[in-house]
Structure 1
Amino acid sequence: MNVLGPSLAPYIRSSRTLKKYVTPIAHWYADLMGYRKMGLKYDDLQVEESPQVQRALGRLTPRETYDRSFRFKIASDCDLHHKPLPKEQWSKPEDDKRYLQPHILNVLKEEEERFTWDTMTVQRK
């Protein structure tokens, strides 16, 4: 039921040595993906067909929703012209914060809690 799937990130972050070697590779891979060249953020790449992501998108502030839509519009225009944005308009790594993930995690926690309460059995003494 976990939309995000298993992650090695907490283990890598806890090890100073692993973090030192993996961080440059992660930055290189993020640049290679090319979504920043179109002005997108990492959370813009989430699969929207998931019901959990749909509920999380409904929890965004109006400003976050507008910014997301604007990024998609710019990315569509780049795709139409087969050109990335000029380098000064690329999304910067320091601006690429996870704005949707906390909402998705809250939705997953709520679903887990709801499942726990729905399957609870009452026993009389």
Structure 2
Amino acid sequence: MAVSKAPAFLSQLRLTLGRMAYNASGFNKYGLMHDDVLYETPDVEEAIRRLPTKLVDERNYRILRALQYSGLKKYLPKNEWTKYEEDVRYLQPYLEEVIRERKEKESWEKMF
């Protein structure tokens, strides 16, 4: 019986710790999402370039709004903060594709 509770406990613990780390990061207080604050490596830049226009516009709006509030040294009203459960990793499919293509290209270049 204790064995079946352990995975559920660990899953709940992981969720709680993830939520705490997410809130401690502070970017959610500006209305940003996880993928808005990724370090822009060449892979990330290419993934952003491949985003549909609507997602780019939404991302740019969130970033500009965050810069404005940061400059004012204010946070958004709490009801506008990005919630852990609502954060969408919108860039990940594009980023995974870019990384896969880059690795494939590198492996082809090694052959020649």
TM range (shorter): 0.7 to 0.9
Distance in 2, matches of 1:38 and 1:118, equals: 43
- Which runs of structure 1 show a deviation greater than 3 angstroms over 4 or more consecutive aligned residues? none
Equivalent in the alignment of 2:25:
33
1:113 alignment partner AA: E
Equivalent in the alignment of 2:3:
none
TM-score, structure 1 as length reference: 0.78
Higher alpha-carbon deviation: 20-29 or 70-79: 20-29
Would you tell me which structure has more helix in proportion to its own residues? 2
Equivalent in the alignment of 1:61:
52
- Residue segments in structure 2 that go unaligned for 5+ positions in a row: 1-6
Residue 104 (structure 1) shift:
1.2
- Residue segments in structure 1 that go unaligned for 5+ positions in a row: 1-14
Residue 17 (structure 1) shift:
4.2
1:1-55: per-residue Cα shift (whole Å, max 9, x none)?
Answer: xxxxxxxxxxxxxx5443222210110111111111100000111112x111111
Equivalent in the alignment of 1:44:
36
Equivalent in the alignment of 1:4:
none
Distance in 2, matches of 1:101 and 1:41, equals: 12
2:34 alignment partner AA: Y
Query: Which has the bigger relative contact order, CA under 8 A and spacing at least 6?
Result: 2
- Structural mapping, 1:1-125, within 5 Å: 16-48=8-40, 50-120=41-111
Distance in 2, matches of 1:75 and 1:52, equals: 23
Percent of aligned positions that are identical: 32
